[in-house]
Structure 1
Amino acid sequence: MKVKNKNKKQVLSMMTWVIILLIWWIVTNTGLIQSQLVPSPQKTWETFIEIAKNGYNGTSLLGQLGISFYRMFVALFFALFAGIPLGLLSGYFLTFQAIFDPIVQFYRPLPPLAYYTLLVLWLGIDETSKVTLLFLAAFAPIYVAGVSAVKQVKEDYILSGQSLGASKLQLFFTVIFPSCLPQIFTGIRTAVGVSYTTLIAAEMVAATSGIGWMVIDASRYLKSDVMFVGIIIMGITGILLDLGIKKIESLVIFWGGKE
């Protein structure tokens, strides 16, 4: 039954994209929408091939993507390194939560670009300010997921470990941490999405390279075909990132879905 539903979902998803592409082709090739506003699918494809071969503004397409992903992955590394331990500790010990939770809850609702100007003022316009911005954007979801995950660990699991003589350290690593992993991965997926959108916005505001900068630079010269190429690449790479995290999650949490 699950296989049948999965196949049905895949067919519906493919049909959705076929219909979108068909509508796109019709409205652009019949003159319903001006090509300056929305380029045709074939024009977008030709532009993609051109950028893939010759790059944009002296930098290859892989180079533009590499710059963007370098910024994001460096920030995510530090966000994971700090967010997971602090989130788990804050969920496990009220002292840690009392110290770190007010800070995270204060800046978490703020739009990242609202304090990006301050980061640029303090750290300059180079990579340090961008990586710091992405770190802050990614840290909050991971931290909150860690705190929430600890509080949702079933008490029966903890009592069973204690009855078997497990120490607090053993209890943490053998019971609490594995129980928290599913929710932590949910926080990581959220953090990747938030940091990616923040990255693109930051590159559009203050950058001279990256896939987000390519789109905003093309908009200044009304190159809608380049803009569409950049936006489509952003969407595809975002999907691939999420699929990659799902794959890692299925490997790490190998017991997921099993009773």
Structure 2
Amino acid sequence: MSVFVDISEEASGSPGAAGPARAKKRDWLTKFGLPLLSVVVFLVVWELVALSGIWSETFVPYPSTVWRAFIDLSTTHNGVRGYQGYLLWEHLYMTLRRVFAGVLIGVTLGVLLGLTMGTFTWVRRLLEPWLTFLRALPPLAYFFLLVIWLGIDEAPKVTLLALAALPPAAVATTAAVVAAPVGLIEAARALGASPREVVRDVVIPSALPETFTGIRLSVGMAYSAVVAAELFNGIPGIGGVVKDASNYNNTPVVLVGIFAIGISGLIIDAVLRAIEVRAVPWRGKV
């Protein structure tokens, strides 16, 4: 009888048999189908707006025009190599190198500063106003001062990105350290842990989830400042391409630069989230 029951359940598409497959398909559609659908809808709306003629092509170029600009930036055509003698990937490489250097410096200093501010109240009282002051400043406001101090080579660009990346990492780490479970800290002390061991074994693990959030915010802030960082002597660099193309109302090239920054930012954020999942597997589970 059990054989007939199993066969009948299979034939009728029992939830027990088809449920996991259906759920997997639904998850796949949610994860990949919806983003793809949003891209298709965006391109269709963009094409319709361009066809409507409400704005001239200088302001709203056709998607095909932007695609041709992308191909031109990525290849050598009619004896012209990319944009200003550099291919798109070379511009993107220089921008990512500057962002990586700035984020590495800013996040490292920010996390160390956050650990110190979260551990010592007097340090937090002393430095918190300055950190808030820096966080409130738009990067462009002090970039010209950095140019005066450091020149127009790589130093002011990396410094600007580091200053943009520092506050989010510092603020998130400080808040996470302050919010570390008091019960766990007291238990560690009762078991004979030294202050260094308490910080290493209790405070830092509990602060890691929020610290990773701060790091992701730091990368976003650095990316939002990259065009400002490449205002001067920014070629090769995506920000320099956007700035130079905007001087000539070359909207397709500007859009290619914007898409390059945005898509590479999405990829970097996905990589950071993957690292976070591996480094902090307990997040959301305890």
Q: Distance in 1 between matches of 2:40 and 2:90?
A: 30
Q: Distance in 2 between matches of 1:110 and 1:31?
A: 39
What's the TM-score once normalised by structure 1's chain length? 0.92
Instruction: Find out whether 1:12 has 2:34 as its counterpart.
Output: yes
- The offset of 1:219, in angstroms, is 1.8
- Structure exhibiting the larger radius of gyration computed from Cα positions: 2
Partner of 1:121: 148
Structure 1: which 5+ runs fail to align? none
- The DSSP-based 3-state class of the residue aligned with 1:125 is coil
Q: CA RMSD in A?
A: 2.1
- The offset of 1:146, in angstroms, is 1.2
Paired letter, 1:211 = I
Alignment of 1:1-259 (within 5 A): 4=26, 7-8=29-30, 10-29=32-51, 31-54=53-76, 55-204=82-231, 207-259=234-286
Q: Distance in 2 between matches of 1:250 and 1:196?
A: 22
1:74-129 CA-to-partner distances (Å, cap 9, x unmatched) read 11111122111121111011232233323212222111111111111111111111
- The DSSP-based 3-state class of the residue aligned with 2:225 is helix
- For the Cα contact (< 8 Å) 1:203–1:209, is it kept in 2? no
- The DSSP-based 3-state class of the residue aligned with 1:204 is coil
- In structure 2, the CA distance between the partners of 1:158 and 1:7, relative to structure 1 (3 Å rule), is farther
Q: Distance in 2 between matches of 1:230 and 1:208?
A: 12
Percent sequence identity over aligned pairs: 38
Q: Distance in 2 between matches of 1:7 and 1:149?
A: 35
1:195-222 CA-to-partner distances (Å, cap 9, x unmatched) read 1111122323663431011112112222
Q: Give the stretch that moved more between structures: 141-150 or 88-97.
A: 88-97
Paired letter, 1:120 = V
- The offset of 1:145, in angstroms, is 0.9
Q: Distance in 1 between matches of 2:72 and 2:100?
A: 28
Q: Give the stretch that moved more between structures: 146-155 or 103-112.
A: 103-112
Paired letter, 1:24 = W
1:163-182 CA-to-partner distances (Å, cap 9, x unmatched) read 32211111111110000000
Q: How many residues align?
A: 259
- The offset of 1:9, in angstroms, is 6.0
What's the TM-score once normalised by structure 2's chain length? 0.84
Paired letter, 2:137 = L
